[in-house]
Amino acid sequence: MEKLARDLKLSSRQIRRAIRQEFGVSPIELAQTQRLLLAKQLLAESNLPIIDVAYASGFASVRRFNALFQSHYRLTPSRMRRATGASQSTGRLQLTLGYRPPLAWDLLLGFLAGRATAGVEWTSERTYYRTASIGSHHGWIKVQPIVGRNALGVELATSLVPVLPEVLTRLKNLFDLSARPDAIATQLAAEPRMKSAVARLPGLRVPGAFDGFEMAVRAILGQRISVRGATTLAGRVAGSFGEVLDTPFPSLCRLAPTALRLASARESELTALGISAARAGCIKALAQAVASGQIDLQPGLDPESVIPALRELPGIGDWTAQVIAMRALRWPDAFPAGDLGLLRALGATSPRRLLDVAAAWRPWRAYAAMYIWQCQNLQEPQNALHQPENCHEPE
Domains of the chain: 1-87 (1.10.10.60)
Q: What is the mean pLDDT of residues 66-82?
A: 89
Catalytic residue, candidates 52, 176, 318, 339: 339
Q: What is the mean pLDDT of residues 362-379?
A: 93
Percentage of the chain with pLDDT > 70? 94
pLDDT-based confidence at 303, cuts 50/70/90?
Answer: very high
Residue 256: what pLDDT? 98
Distance from the Cα of residue 313 to its chain's centroid? 23
Q: What is the pLDDT of residues 335-366, one digit of tens each?
A: 999 998 899 999 988 999 999 999 999 999 99
Task: Residue 279: name the closest of 317, 239, 330 by CA.
Answer: 317
Q: What is the mean pLDDT of residues 37-54?
A: 91
At position 139, the amino acid (one-letter code) is: G
Q: What is the mean pLDDT of residues 228-236?
A: 97
| pTM of the complete model | 0.90
Residue 134: what pLDDT? 97
Q: What is the pLDDT of residues 250-278, one digit of tens each?
A: 999 999 999 999 999 999 999 999 999 99
Q: Does 339 qualify as catalytic in the annotation? A: yes
State the chain's mean pLDDT as an integer: 92
